[in-house]
Chain A
Amino acid sequence: MFRFIIKRASLIIPTFLGVTFLSFMLIRLVPGDPIEVRVGERGISPERLAELRHEYGLDQPLWKQFLDYEGDVVTGNLGVSVVTKETVWNEFTTLFPATLELALAAIVFATAIGLPLGVIAAVRRGSPLDYGLMGVSVTGASMPIFWWGLMLILIFSVSLGWTPVSGRISAQYYIEPTTGFLLIDSLMSDDEGAFWSALRYLILPTVVLGTIPLAVIARMTRSAMLEVLNEDYIRTARAKGLSVARVVGVHALRNALIPVVTVIGLQVGALLSGAILTERIFSWPGVGSWLLASIERRDYPVLQGGVLLIASLVMLVNFSVDLTYGLLNPRIRR
């Protein structure tokens, strides 16, 4: 197992170097004067320009600049926002819990609905119910979620008035961020209304972001279940006289779960892509909105640092999925 971990870990180092190199090049590919891009000022005097050039290390050869950047990245120094003058790391850590809360809610929603649907479709294979569920699933997987979000707002917020349109919580509440997860923070506050408000604000974004993972999980569960249901041990369990519910729920589902868990883990990248769109639609104050705003403001240090952080996060999650998989299935450790 230890060797397996080392082997996998050694594989992600070149990838990490590549990712940092891409983000290092990113800010250099932006058209315009590199100093203006970083400082966000125009019409800087030549003396100040030379000074800044030295300060940012732009008078060094490129390989030296990259090594310096690599050192900065490893020590968590990702630069400073041109607009707010706040460090990129601080801004990211303040906003990330909002995105994480949304993403976790979406994945819980997708699993809670997608998993049972997949099981039902597999058990009723070939029935109209199976065709119906798989039809819904392929539609969900093809969904342009930015449109889906607008349609849900149209129906549930505009027509029915059930859910709020944008933000994380009603303006009447102020919750001191301790964990950054509004659901937990509001639950810890004395105001019960705050929790319900936060929950109401979370529902639509969760459904929107969870739709594609739901479809993928339902499909994956169905095919994994179908494979397992053909195994001999299922026939044995049935022959022993166990109830269908027990055979399906315990014997089959447990063995079908491994590929499903992997698929859930690998949804992180898709989830973060979706979060950018979802946050835009619902004005959700997370890292997606933050990155989009950085593009509009031409705040390149934020864009550079934010992209690097998100890519590192995806890498970390993929790595953990890999390890978990190795833990669950000794055959692939080699």
Chain B
Amino acid sequence: MAITETAATAPRLAPAPSSARLLWRAFAENRGAVGGLVIMLVLIVVAVFAELVAPHSPIEQFREALLRPPFWVEGGSWRFPMGTDDIGRDVLSRVIYGARLSLIIGSSVVTLSLALGTALGLTAAFCGGTVDIGLMRLMDVLLVFPSLLLAIVIVAILGPGLFNAMMAVSLVTLPHFTRLARAAALTELSRDYVTASRCAGAGVLRLMFITVLPNCLAPLIVQGTLGFSSSILDAAALGFLGLGAQPPTPEWGTMLSSSMEFVTRAWWMVLFPGLAILITVLAFNLFGDGLRDALDPKLKR
């Protein structure tokens, strides 16, 4: 009886949900991850429309309003909601333009190291032998250096500046992507579909990028999101040490660096840029964690 009932109701069931829908369902269970995604979207909107959102230009100096406190403190006004810095620039506007810069830094670093790391990792996995050993030992060498130290050394040689800082951070994040891509490709290489494709006459490049790569993407995407947050953090640290973006660029780390001598007099110059870094990094980390759990339920604890 039960069997016939099931058979009778089966055709009326809704069609199986698509994989994107399943992924979203697993992702949406994690409230922290959804929160992270919302903050990320807000940040992107703010960064793209910085000109419209920011009340002032990030480098305009209001000589009559030096070191004004935020609006809720006595002496502050709505004209400068987060106060002004030592040469009268609006802190809110600088934080807003800083979001644009940080997202540019994060996306360029991740794009560069993800692309290069994937290519190197796949090469190592496909070639095997000496090429594999050589590449992986090279990555080991890079990993032995504490990441910030390596970035500092590279910038010390190339000279300070935003572009060099981004190059340095990319190189520092490269080994993680390379190792991950290699490991993922190695597991896929032993699968039957790869052998089948090879028998059908697929060339190495086709095997690498069309057959194998799409099946290695999940961990790489997760690492990419997490790499986004670590590269924003590292670039800001370089800025803080005076080795990244140079003043008057409204980069969050650089802003913090110049706020150091005003710690006792103007706490708002310290509070807001750092809070912006924390919130951004946190959002990407939450999103990355949620994505990992959704893509690979086995890892979920």
Contact = CB atoms under 8 A, between A and B. Distances in A.
Interface residues of B, number: 43
Nearest to B267: A154
A26 B157 contact: yes
Interface stretch (B59-67, B198-206, B217-225, B236-244): B236-244
A273 interface: yes
Interface string B96-107: 000000000000
A91 to B, nearest CB: 17
Given A139-B282, A311-B145, A315-B144, A146 B152 contact: no
A274 B260 CA distance: 18
Contacts of B153: 26, 303, 307
Contacts of A310: 145-146, 149
Contact of A276 (B149, B233, B236): B149
Interface stretch (B11-19, B45-53, B189-197, B271-279): B271-279
Contacts of A14: 137, 140
Interface of B is mostly: helix
A231 to B, nearest CB: 14
A77 interface: no
Contacts of B21: none
14 contacts: A15-B141, A19-B145, A26-B153, A135-B32, A141-B285, A146-B256, A147-B277, A148-B274, A151-B274, A226-B301, A270-B146, A273-B147, A311-B145, A315-B144
Interface of A: 14-15, 18-19, 22, 26, 29-31, 135, 138-139, 141-144, 146-148, 150-151, 153-154, 158, 222-223, 226-227, 269-270, 272-274, 276-277, 280-281, 291-292, 295, 303, 307, 310-311, 314-315, 318
Given A19-B145, A138-B286, 17 more contacts: A18-B137, A19-B141, A19-B144, A29-B157, A138-B282, A139-B278, A139-B282, A142-B281, A144-B253, A146-B236, A146-B237, A146-B256, A147-B256, A272-B149, A273-B147, A273-B148, A311-B144
Interface of B: 32, 137-138, 140-141, 144-149, 152-153, 156-157, 159, 229, 233, 236-237, 240-241, 243, 253, 256, 259-260, 263-264, 267, 270-271, 273-275, 277-278, 281-282, 285-286, 289, 301
